[in-house]
Amino acid sequence: MAKGAVFPVQFTGSKGVINCDESFQKNEVVEWHRYLRHARNNRKTVSVSCLCQPVCTEGKILRLKVSHSEATDRYWLSAWPYEGSRHAENCRFYSVWSDKSQASIYEAGVVTTGADGMFKIRLPTGLQKKEPKAPDDDNAEPVVKTSATTKRKPAMQLLGLLHFMWEQAEINVWHPAFELKKSRGTAWLGYRLDNISGRIRIGKTLLSDVMLIPGNRDGAHSKPNLQKLRAATKNKKRLVVVSQLVSWTEKTEARLNSGMLPLGLFGGFPELRIPPDARARCEASFGRELGHWRKGAKVIAIAETDPPITTFRHVDGKPVPSTRCEVIDIALMVVSPRYIPLDSGYEAVIENKLWAEQRAFIKPLRYDGGEDVFPDFLLTDVGGEEFVPLEVFGMNTPEYLARKALKQAHYEEEFGEGRWWSWDATARDAESAIPDFPEKKK
């Protein structure tokens, strides 16, 4: 059995609800296994859920998967893919990663959790600028050198950090009930990011102490951002900046080309300068995102900067301070109006259709992994299914078609015929002939 506390498990079926506490699971072995066998054999009518979290809002039920070994006739429980990070930190089904494929991206130790529920993440460049120390000091500089022969990544890049925060804050999750609550605007996004940054350490630095939160000049985060900026200047700390690129115009394009990061939500931010090498890396790695930005898409930027520098200029005979930072690295992510991350324009079509039809879904995040690891979306409101993968096929090159065949075979083997959905966006009149989504549970 996995490490962690054993919480009560609930079986729900046509005959009612049965709760099995830790004592029952350990001592009533025969009866416990009978329950598991019945749930496994009646998966469409019996659900199994973990009670490590209070079930207080729709969409928060933590369903469990019942597995079976024919060789030993043994039954056991596990978290469903993309569900592990939603369990309580001390639950035996909890995982830092929502899916095991994400865990395989990084070396051990890149992301760890403490007994206090804090995450510790290793970035390629530490947040404290100082002279190099011992190689095992993850705040020293340089912290990590990437080896071309290393399969697993030795550090989390900025895009991975952005995806980690998005997933831990459940910004990549959508349910129609959210429309009835606080709207997903700037204030909501800032609140979510502020909360999760308070649970992350980069080396010895608490991320919330150096992360500037997106917001307007007169917004709730403007003053805290200024306080962090002053502290970073004094203590020679690097900053992590998260914001939204301002809407594209020829003027904002000119700002980018002149070495300025054109942000639209910058209350309490310093002036952000991008040196030519960082801008070239951004163009090379995030050309697709920049292309969508130029077409009007909403794009989130995360940047790491060198410690701020404050200079003074005289205005009307009085010294006026001006603070600027030089960007070390930057990553971009296209999002929908609901801040759901998107990897393509075709995904934007499907995300908008899901929202318009009031469906519940999750957008799996790739972190710093490959392009073929995860489904594009997971539909979470289909009767009798934990989730249904949604896949958008958006190209028809020979290489892509070969990968498409592999994906199709994988879904057929993993989920079965008719239990996953796809759309060929390259077909003629594709947008007018999008297949119906699997039926929503009543």
Q: What share of the chain is helix, strand, coil (3-state, %, to 5)?
A: 30, 25, 45
Task: Identify whether residues 163 and 30 lie together within a single domain.
Answer: no
Which helix or strand (DSSP H or E) is residue 235 part of?
helix 222-235
Burial pattern 123-143, b for ≥16 Cβ within 10 A else e, equals bbbbbbeeeeeeeeebbbbeb
The predicted structure's pLDDT at residue 147: 41
Range picked from 45-59, 92-106, 306-320, 384-398 for highest mean pLDDT:
384-398
For residue 311, pLDDT over 60 is answered with yes
Do you know the residue count of the chain? Answer: 442
Task: Identify whether residues 318 and 386 lie together within a single domain.
Answer: no
Task: Identify whether residues 208 and 117 lie together within a single domain.
Answer: yes
Which has the higher per-residue pLDDT, 373 or 86?
A: 86
Domain count for the chain: 3
- Of 56, 86, 116, the residue at which a domain comes to its end is 86
Task: Identify whether residues 289 and 145 lie together within a single domain.
Answer: yes
- Of 55, 86, 117, the residue at which a domain comes to its end is 86
Does any domain span residue 288? yes
Q: What mean pLDDT, rounded, does the chain reach? A: 87
CA distance 215 to 82: 30
pLDDT band of residue 139 (cuts 50, 70, 90) is: very low
Please, what is the Cα angle at 232 between 303 and 223, to 5 degrees? 85
205 CB neighbour count, 10 Å cutoff: 19
The predicted structure's pLDDT at residue 143: 40
pLDDT band of residue 60 (cuts 50, 70, 90) is: low
Does any domain span residue 309? yes
Task: Identify whether residues 303 and 417 lie together within a single domain.
Answer: no
pLDDT band of residue 373 (cuts 50, 70, 90) is: low
Task: Identify whether residues 405 and 264 lie together within a single domain.
Answer: no
Task: Identify whether residues 34 and 127 lie together within a single domain.
Answer: no
Task: Identify whether residues 52 and 129 lie together within a single domain.
Answer: no
What would the pLDDT profile of 157-199 be if each residue is shown by its tens digit?
999 999 999 999 999 999 999 988 778 889 999 999 999 999 9
SS3 345: helix
Does any domain span residue 149? yes
- Of 86, 108, 137, the residue at which a domain comes to its end is 86
Task: Identify whether residues 118 and 77 lie together within a single domain.
Answer: no
Task: Identify whether residues 134 and 177 lie together within a single domain.
Answer: yes
pLDDT band of residue 58 (cuts 50, 70, 90) is: very low
CA distance 234 to 307: 9
CA distance 114 to 120: 8
Task: Identify whether residues 251 and 208 lie together within a single domain.
Answer: yes
CA dihedral in degrees (301, 304, 310, 315; nearest 10)? -10
The predicted structure's pLDDT at residue 151: 78
Single-letter residue type at 6:
V
Task: Identify whether residues 211 and 104 lie together within a single domain.
Answer: yes
For residue 129, pLDDT over 90 is answered with no
For residue 412, pLDDT over 90 is answered with no
Domain span including residue 26: 9-86
pLDDT (average), residues 105-134: 80
The predicted structure's pLDDT at residue 2: 46
